[in-house]
Structure 1
Amino acid sequence: MGARSIPPPPPVVRRALAPLWPLVAVAITGLMVPVVVAGAFHALVDRRARLFRVACLAVLLLWVDIRMLVRCWTLGAGRRDTASPQWRAAHEELLSDALDSLMYYTRRWLGLEVELTDRMHFGTEDHALLALARHAGPFDSLAVAWLLARTAGRLPRIVLAEALRWDPGVDTILTRLDSFFVPSAGDDRLAGVRGMAASLEPADVLLIFPEGQNWTPSRRAHLIERLRRRGDHRRADRAEELVNVLPPKTRGAWAARQARPDADVMVVAHAGFGHLSTLRSIWAAIPFRGRPFLVRTWTWRSADVPDDPVVFAAWLDERWGEVDAWVTAHTTPEGIPELADPARRPGSGTSTR
């Protein structure tokens, strides 16, 4: 069951959950102490210390979330001028710090390393940016958001599943930063995407995952089967051609493009973690040393992106074919990332079109 199918907390539960969240964290931390101790002893048998690593990381990330929530309360306790640039800047800095902490602890405890294969181009100065990213593997949303914030210098606004409102820290800060939680049902699920895109500042980036869900081999197979049953053989054939990605859904990306036709468009591909699609495979890969999260981006000026919905859909489908080819070239049959040309390192080329 994906996050999209999980309903959000009812309003009364959502209001009650936030003040109780630190107490929940204390209780969870207490329950995790025996697990951490057991993991320390288990490391004598498991040289990779997987249980110890995961248990410690879970506690640390929980308290990063609590710290973010408490700092949100502190900001809200003062003068609440939600329309002021200072209000937004304070929350953007808080989210950036949280992303840095999440990546730091994930790198330290699990060995997650993000590595660019080419120089990133961030679009035209003083233009907003729409980032369309591949969605596959654990940590990909976190890694891409952090990369945009720290490398591109653009803190992303993110389209998220509404189920993430169960986390009061995520709910509070991203609501204040006008991110959009896609409802699990409703007549117009794209209204928030249009609103976010329309309100982008020149230094902002809107992060969208056009596939709509994490790619896994089983999801790819089920999608092809479902399209065949519906009689949509053209799309099924296209889905079969794409080995490492799902066919992109155009509606969300087009809604953003339509709302901000002046925004440049970045396509984000990544390799290395897509095949870690089950808890067993993730567990077997920990720690992730020798498995970098490889990233490649392509950026188009707004004038070079189609402004007709049919042509845009074909354009996006072609881009996703390029993403699939790049992922295939940078992934072994076992799902291990590899540089097609080891001599090419970050900064040695350009990803501008």
Structure 2
Amino acid sequence: MGLAGIPKPPRLVRRVLPVVWPVGAAALTGLATPVIVAGAFASFVDKKARLFRVSVLGVGLMWVDVRMLMDCWRLQLGNPERTAPAWEDDHEEVFLAGLNRAMILARRWVGFEVRLDGRMHFGNEGAPLVAFARHAGPGDSIALAWLLGHTAGRMPKIVLAEALRWDPMVDTLLTQMRSYFVPSRTGAGDDRVAGVRSLARGLKDDDVLLLFPEGQNFSPDRRRRLIDRMREAGQELRARRAISLFNTLPPKTKGVVAVLDERPDADVMIVGHAGFGRLSTPREVWDAIPFTDRPFLVRTHTYAAGDVPDDAPEIEAWLDERWTEIDEWVTAYEQ
């Protein structure tokens, strides 16, 4: 079913979750302590110390999440009316600090390290930026949001599944940052593009809208199922295009067209990454830990607003060409 099929928590549950989550995190930490100890002893057998690394990282990330939630409470207590001029900026600082803590933990405990293949160009100063990124491998959303926030100096505005509201920190913090939660497929009558348009419309000059046109993480099984569905629907041209992509899924263009139609003044960054895309199952991720010899390599190319098509069919063809380039680059890197 995936995240897209999971509905958001009911209103009452959303009110209760932030209160019980810190207590639940403390209980989970207690339950995880024997696992951490067992992992430490198991490292005498498993020289990669995977159980120890993963259990410590899991507890660490959980408390990063709790701290971000508590920082949101602190901001709300300091400004109950939520009218301070810096209200959104303060939440953005909490978001960036939390991302940084998470990336430090990931690098320390499992060797997850982001590297750049070439220079990044962040668009023209004074112009908004949208980033269309490949979606594959564990942690790519967090890594790319961190990279754009800390390296590009632009605040990521994110489109994410509404199911993630079950995390009270995500629900509390990212709502205050004007992120867009895509309604689940179970939601009747929801315009799944209207929110993307609204997010694009509200972009400031120092923002970047981060969108994953594939809609879901790449995996060989998803690629095969997608090709089969295209053929069953008589979409032979799209199926042939999907067959030519070995490391990516064909990009969905509805959201991309909506964003570019709403913000024709935005520069466009195409983001590819390599190194983790073939880790599509828990077993593959487990076997690859630690990632000390497997950097998360990022390659970007930024196009000025005037160089991007503004007609829907031309945008679709242009995006397909960019995804073919990403696929070829990933193939060359991972051979």
TM-score range, shorter chain: over 0.9
Distance in 1, matches of 2:258 and 2:80, equals 31
Indicate the residue corresponding to 2:308 in structure 1.
305
1:48 and 2:53 aligned = no
Which ranges of structure 1 fall in alignment gaps of 5 or more residues?
Answer: 333-353
**What code does the residue aligned with 1:245 have?**
T
**Which residue is equivalent to 2:204?**
201
Inter-partner Cα distance in structure 1 for 2:41 and 2:9: 38
Q: d(CA) in 1 for partners of 2:20 and 2:211? A: 31
- Does residue 330 (structure 1) correspond to residue 333 (structure 2)? The answer is yes
Instruction: Tell me the SS of whatever aligns to 2:126.
Output: coil
Within the alignment, does 1:242 sit opposite 2:256 as a pair? no
Matched, 1:135 2:135: yes
C-alpha contact (below 8 Å) 1:129/1:264 kept by paired residues: yes
1:271 aligns with 2:283: no
**Letter of the structure 2 residue corresponding to residue 308 of structure 1:** D
1:305 is displaced (CA, Å) by: 0.6
The aligned runs of 1:85-100 (5 Å cut-off) are: 85-100=85-100
Query: Aligned letter for 2:57?
Result: L
Q: Retained in 1: the 8 A contact 2:76–2:82?
A: no
Partner of 2:226: 223
Partner of 2:144: 144
Q: Does 1:29 align with 2:21?
A: no
Q: 1:57 to 1:297 in 2, by over 3 A?
A: same
| Structure 2: distance between partners of 1:56 and 1:225 | 41
Overall identity of the aligned pairs, in %: 59
Aligned ranges for residues 114-133 of structure 1 at < 5 Å?
114-133=114-133
Q: CA deviation at 1:281?
A: 0.3
Aligned-partner Cα distance in 2 for 1:256–1:83: 29
Deviation by residue 1:195-232 (Cα, 9 ceiling, x = unmatched): 11000110000000000000101100111111111111
After TM superposition, list the pairs within 5 Å mapping 1:67-86 onto structure 2.
Answer: 67-80=67-80, 82=82, 84-86=84-86
Aligned AA (2:279): L
After TM superposition, the runs of 4+ consecutive aligned structure 1 residues lying more than 3 A away are 80-85
Alpha-carbon distance between aligned partners in 1 of 2:311 and 2:204, rounded to the nearest angstrom: 24
2:112 equivalent in structure 1? 112
- Once the 2 structures are TM-superposed, how far is the Cα of residue 310 of structure 1 from its aligned partner? 1.1
Q: What SS does structure 1 have at the residue aligned with 2:334? A: coil
Give me the CA root mean square deviation: 1.0
Structure 1 residues 38-87: Cα deviation after superposition (integer angstroms, max 9, x where no partner): 11111111010000000000100000000000010010012245454411
Aligned to 1:154: 154
Task: Name 2:260's counterpart in structure 1.
Answer: 257
* CA–CA separation in structure 1 for the residues paired with 2:108 and 2:88: 30
One-letter amino acid of the structure 2 residue matched with residue 312 of structure 1: I
Q: 1:213 aligns with which of 208, 211, 216?
A: 216
Aligned length: 332
Matching residue's letter, 2:294: R
Name the SS for the 1:330 alignment partner. helix
- Quote the residue 2:13 is aligned against: 13
Bigger drift between 195-204 and 5-14 goes to 5-14
Question: Separation in 2 of the partners of 1:70 and 1:213?
Answer: 30
Distance 1:36 1:121 in 2: 42
Are the counterparts in 1 of residues 129 and 209 from structure 2 also a CA contact under 8 Å?
Answer: yes
CA apart distance, 1:89: 1.4
Kept in 2: contact 1:131–1:268 (CA 8 A) = yes
Scaled by the length of structure 2, what TM-score is found? 0.97
Change (3 A) 1:321 1:137: same
Amino acid at match of 1:316: L
Q: Kindly indicate whether the alpha-carbon contact (under 8 Å) linking 2:183 and 2:190 is maintained by their aligned counterparts in 1.
A: no
Distance 1:118 1:329 in 2: 16
Distance of 2:207 and 2:311 partners within structure 1: 24
User: Contact (CA 8 Å) 1:82, 1:88: kept in 2 or not?
Assistant: no
Write the letter of the residue equivalent to 1:286.
Answer: I
* Partner SS state of residue 156, structure 1: strand
